[in-house]
Amino acid sequence: MAKLVVLGEGQNGRTLDLKDERTTVGRLDDNAFQIPEQSISSHHCEILLKGTEVVVKDLGSTNGTFINGEQITEKALKPGQVLRLGKVELRFEDGQTPSGSGSSASQPASQTTISGRSLPHGGVKLGDTSGAAPVFAKNSPFAKKSNKTAIIFITIGVILFAAIVVALILAFSQFKSP
């Protein structure tokens, strides 16, 4: 069964089974799923089951509704994506075991591993300096780039500029002398 798993502190692991066609989520207790957190609006969003699709619709919330960091007004939610309501994050799980090799299925639900370190789910929070910076492989697009190419271009530019200046000085000096 499809469900949302709360990842926020104090409510980590709390789940919402998505079995109704329409489920309201918000801070007040008249919602089908109440999350008593100040950053969540009284009626924040609704979760709609449309066939096999799960759609999240923002209800004009103050702090917004986000799927994987992108603010939405209405959008389909895919398995593994993180829904953020105010400051609370919820992970969408479709209830099926992921297939394939080396998937994150072997990781505990509340853990993520980066560079061999286990982090609380949701990754690193702003201002958290307790962990070391991640180490990227040399062939990673995030690896530090070499400055050799930049140095070569700058050197060639300086030489060409100097040559042009010398050529202009020689040209003007020949026009002045008879």
Contacts of 118 (CB under 8 A, 6+ apart): 111, 112
C-beta of residue 77 within 8 angstroms of C-beta of residue 55: yes
State residue 133's pLDDT score: 52
Q: Cα(129)–Cα(65) distance, rounded to whole angstroms?
A: 27
Cα(15)–Cα(115) distance, integer angstroms: 29
> How does pLDDT run along the chain (178 residues), one tens digit per residue?
788 888 866 676 788 888 899 999 999 999 999 988 899 999 999 999 998 899 999 999 999 999 999 999 999 999 999 999 988 899 999 876 443 333 343 334 444 444 444 444 444 445 555 455 555 555 555 556 667 888 899 999 999 999 999 999 998 888 765 5
Which residues face 83 on adjacent strands? 67, 90
Q: What is the reported pLDDT for 160?
A: 97
- Please state, in angstroms and rounded to a whole number, the distance separating the CA atoms of residues 78 and 15: 16
Question: What are the C-alpha distances in Å from 132 to residues 70, 106, 119?
Answer: 27, 24, 12
Q: Answer yes or no: are the C-beta atoms of 24 and 3 closer than 8 Å.
A: no
SS3 content of the chain, % helix, strand, coil (to 5): 20, 30, 50
| pTM for the model | 0.53
